[in-house]
Amino acid sequence: MDRFRLPPAALSRSRRRFVQGLAGGALAVANARHFSWAAGGPATAGDAGAVLSGTEFNLEIGALAVNFTGQPGIATVVNGRLPAPLLRWREGDSITLRVSNRLSAPTSIHWHGMIVPADMDGVPGLSFDGIGPGETYVYRFKVNQSGTYWYHSHSRFQEQIGLYGPIVIDSRRGERHRADREHVVLLSEWTDLDPEHIYRTLKRQSNYFNFHQRTAGDFINDARKQGWKPTMADRRMWGQMRMNPTDLADVSGYAYTYLINGSTPAGNWTGLFRRGEKVRLRIINGSSMSFFDVRIPGLKLTVVAADGQDVEPVTVDEFRIGTAEVYDVIVEPKDDRAYTIFAQSLDRSGYARGTLTPQLGMQAEVPALDPRPLLTMVDMGMGHNMAGMDMSGMDMSSVPDMDHGAMDHGAMTMEHDMGAPPHHAPAEYGPNVDSLAVQPQSRLDDPGVGLRDNGRRVLTYADLHTLGGPIDHRKAGRDVELHLTGHMERFVWSFSGQKFSESEPLRFNYGERLRLVLVNDSMMHHPIHLHGMWGEVESEQGEFLVRKHTITVQPGQRLAYWVTADALGRWAYHCHLLYHMEAGMFREVHVERFSNEGAPS
């Protein structure tokens, strides 16, 4: 327990705490020798229960009165905490978690990135029936992995309103990349709005939260700078597509207050260090709808793990972290000064902010938000469907022998020339898909919209090399190609043009090694999460790159990864943007010994 010694009690308050945000500007401090995790707000420091370790856990899901913005709200939390307690496990242990529901609604907990039996995975409707009000579900599994993970509700919008927390698993062999001290940095959002209201609002007016749209003034400025003709051509192109180049996030800082470990920017979560120490930051994106661009001005970030898996250390200035992704970085502050952890949202509508400091009370400058980026032709999969309704460039007759749903049964194998135009499923030509990539590109070395050529060294997937090689050396027996599709205007999201309600489960033959090819036809980033099995991202040369549980596919990108279907049962496969998932961007993956179809060749 000494290892998890907690910060001084000086800042603690009652357990039923009100997490002050802009109103309070209170300080949360993390200061353990080896490990610390001062969860949000003024009250958590020194608060027993912020970290739970061992093999037996009792988690109670209930409501908590909170106040992040000056407006009181009710969060859904674990053990009265937002974020939920840090669960510290040891690789090799068999653990038991009793999760009790004190809400009036059903609930669930999913252990994100954990390889556990299907009935322990926590997805209502696929793993189990969920946890009804007053009920307790006992999760039991053996921990066979190590690293940083997280857990969250898989029921409705509970994840949005506070039901998420970190998991740290100590390796039996000790850390490969040693650090003198570590902090969990859990990024998330708070909203005073009812998530049900947010979802309805997106269905009614999908650009509701976008207050960065192009105006008449922008048009005049652009025309002055670039000339009338190119400006007109640009507006004509977007107008024909009925797309919006400022559509970077569906829900913005208009609704969200961005949090680090439950602290608002004003609350300024603070982690301590001593000069010269190696400090490991376990950075988790536990938000529901936000991508963050993370940097610590003045410090290099050495990325040592991605999604819990150790990687060859790579040193960068900045990285983008998709919803549900996890990066462990090591920093070595050389000076006796404070540093700002700055995590701006992709659409630059706000930021989460915390401080690393050798001494309480010190702060560093908070950088200005970067300029708002615009989506470009690259983000549209190059050619895009410029003529709107005209699909002559993508004649369906050129699609070889593809019957409806073939993709969805995963029975389709095709040659993949990364430069070739993609094949779109028939359903993609239906009313619920507003764009089709004409020439999606791999672009694994593309830092993404808003980070290109910003003068900083920005992490890309091409920089990530998981140590120890893939978990399976066989070649993939077949390809399963899925397209990430949607209709921004009507807020409908799907895989290959089919919403979850319209789709059949993807069937993976037990034991097979297959290759999932994702083509992002939409103009948004999608963090795609397969439950129960790792995804091993393939380089452009077809070599193993990085093992992840959540894989971000950029707009207009084509990305392939290998999966070994060694996990029997029914699993969720979905976009981890919560409202995209609810709107249909979800599939069931069924791993079974299917005798007839999908057998590895």
Partner 1 sequence: MTARVQLFLFCGAFGLLAASFALGQESHDPASRPDHSSSQSPEPQAPASAAPDVAAESEAAHVPPDPPQHPIRDMPYPEMAETMQMDDTARTSKVLLDQLEWRNTAEGSAAVWDAEAWYGGDINKIWLRSEGERVASTTQNAHADLLWDHTFSRWWGVQVGGRQDFGAGPRRTWAAIGVQGLAPYWFDTEATFYVGEQGRTALRLKTEYELLFTQRLILQPEGEANLYGKADPARHLGSGLSDLELGLRLRYEVRREFAPYVGVVWARSFGGTADRVRESGRDPSDVQFVAGLRAWF
Nearer to partner 1, 353 or 507 (CB): 507
- Distance of closest approach, residue 184 Cβ to partner 1, in angstroms: 23
- Distance of closest approach, residue 487 Cβ to partner 1, in angstroms: 7
- In 214-349, where do the E strands start and end? 256-260, 269-272, 279-285, 292-295, 301-306, 309-316, 318-321, 326-331, 339-345
Side chain identity at residue 269, one-letter code: W
* Token pair of 101 as six digits: 């529901």
Nearer to partner 1, 181 or 590 (CB): 590
Q: Which stretch, 59-67, 122-130, 367-375, 396-404, contacts partner 1 (CB under 8 A)?
A: 122-130
Q: Which stretch, 207-215, 325-333, 361-369, 454-462, contacts partner 1 (CB under 8 A)?
A: 207-215
Q: Can residue 433 be called a binding residue for partner 1 (CB under 8 A)? A: yes
Single residue of 25, 62, 106, 383 touching partner 1 by CB under 8 A: 106
**In this structure, which long-range contacts are made by residues 593-598, counting pairs with CB atoms below 8 Å and at least 24 apart in sequence?**
593/509, 593/510, 593/511, 594/507, 594/509, 594/510, 597/409, 597/411, 597/507, 597/509, 598/409, 598/410, 598/411, 598/478, 598/507, 598/508, 598/509, 598/512
Question: What distance in Å separates the CA atoms of residue 227 and residue 514, rounded to the nearest whole number?
Answer: 50
The answer to whether the CB of 266 falls within 8 A of the CB of 310 is no
Contact partners, residue 597, CB within 8 Å, separation at least 6: 409, 411, 507, 509
Backbone angles phi, psi at 393, to 5 degrees: -70, -10
User: Per-residue contact track with partner 1, 53 to 92, x per CB under 8 A?
Assistant: ----------------------------------------
Nearer to partner 1, 62 or 297 (CB): 62
Nearer to partner 1, 205 or 359 (CB): 205
Q: Give the C-alpha distances (Å, rounded to integers) separating 203 from 129, 208, 244, 251, 490.
A: 28, 10, 17, 12, 6
Site for partner 1 in 311-350 (CB under 8 A): none
Single residue of 1, 2, 104, 217 touching partner 1 by CB under 8 A: 217
- Distance of closest approach, residue 284 Cβ to partner 1, in angstroms: 21
* Token pair of 365 as six digits: 């400058």
Nearer to partner 1, 139 or 461 (CB): 139
> In this structure, what DSSP letter does residue 40 have?
S
Single residue of 113, 253, 584, 598 touching partner 1 by CB under 8 A: 584
Q: Can residue 593 be called a binding residue for partner 1 (CB under 8 A)? A: yes
- The 3-class secondary structure across 351-407, one letter per residue, is EEEEEEECCCCCCCCCCCCCCCCCCCCHHHCCCCCCCCCCCHHHCHHHCCCCCCCCH
Nearer to partner 1, 441 or 520 (CB): 520
Nearer to partner 1, 123 or 184 (CB): 123
Question: What distance in Å separates the CA atoms of residue 203 and residue 329, rounded to the nearest whole number?
Answer: 38
Q: Can residue 23 be called a binding residue for partner 1 (CB under 8 A)? A: no
Q: Which stretch, 197-205, 283-291, 340-348, 518-526, contacts partner 1 (CB under 8 A)?
A: 197-205
Site for partner 1 in 229-268 (CB under 8 A): 236, 239-240, 242
Q: Can residue 404 be called a binding residue for partner 1 (CB under 8 A)? A: no
Q: Give strand pairing partners of 383.
A: none
Q: Which stretch, 30-38, 55-63, 111-119, 182-190, contacts partner 1 (CB under 8 A)?
A: 111-119
- Distance of closest approach, residue 511 Cβ to partner 1, in angstroms: 4
157: alpha, beta or left, given left = phi > 0 and alpha = psi -120 to 50? Answer: alpha
Nearer to partner 1, 305 or 341 (CB): 305
DSSP letter string over 462-517?
Answer: GG--BTT--S--SPPSEEEEEEEEEETTTTEEEETTB-GGG-PPEEEETT-EEEEE
Nearer to partner 1, 63 or 467 (CB): 467
Site for partner 1 in 434-463 (CB under 8 A): 434
Greatest Cα-to-Cα distance within the chain, rounded to the nearest angstrom: 71
Q: Which stretch, 272-280, 345-353, 410-418, 579-587, contacts partner 1 (CB under 8 A)?
A: 579-587
- Distance of closest approach, residue 359 Cβ to partner 1, in angstroms: 40
- Distance of closest approach, residue 369 Cβ to partner 1, in angstroms: 16
Single residue of 71, 135, 211, 227 touching partner 1 by CB under 8 A: 211
Q: How many residues bind partner 1 (CB under 8 A)?
A: 82
Assign 16 to helix, strand or coil.
coil
Nearer to partner 1, 138 or 377 (CB): 138
Nearer to partner 1, 354 or 532 (CB): 532
Helix, strand, coil % (nearest 5) of the chain? Answer: 10, 35, 55
- Distance of closest approach, residue 299 Cβ to partner 1, in angstroms: 29
Q: Can residue 161 be called a binding residue for partner 1 (CB under 8 A)? A: no
Single residue of 14, 104, 215, 541 touching partner 1 by CB under 8 A: 215
Cα three-residue angle 376-316-303, rounded to 5 degrees: 115
Q: Can residue 474 be called a binding residue for partner 1 (CB under 8 A)? A: yes
The answer to whether the CB of 464 falls within 8 A of the CB of 545 is yes
Question: What distance in Å separates the CA atoms of residue 460 and residue 89, rounded to the nearest whole number?
Answer: 30
Site for partner 1 in 514-573 (CB under 8 A): 532, 534, 547, 564-570
Nearer to partner 1, 74 or 418 (CB): 74
- Distance of closest approach, residue 552 Cβ to partner 1, in angstroms: 21
Single residue of 156, 181, 295, 548 touching partner 1 by CB under 8 A: 156
Q: Can residue 98 be called a binding residue for partner 1 (CB under 8 A)? A: no
Half-sphere exposure of 567 (CA within 13 A, CB side): 22
Assign 590 to helix, strand or coil.
strand
Nearer to partner 1, 26 or 551 (CB): 551
- Distance of closest approach, residue 35 Cβ to partner 1, in angstroms: 23
Contact partners, residue 572, CB within 8 Å, separation at least 6: 121, 123, 126, 154, 529, 531, 586, 587, 588, 589
Contact partners, residue 8, CB within 8 Å, separation at least 6: 29, 31, 45, 46
Single residue of 4, 89, 500, 573 touching partner 1 by CB under 8 A: 500
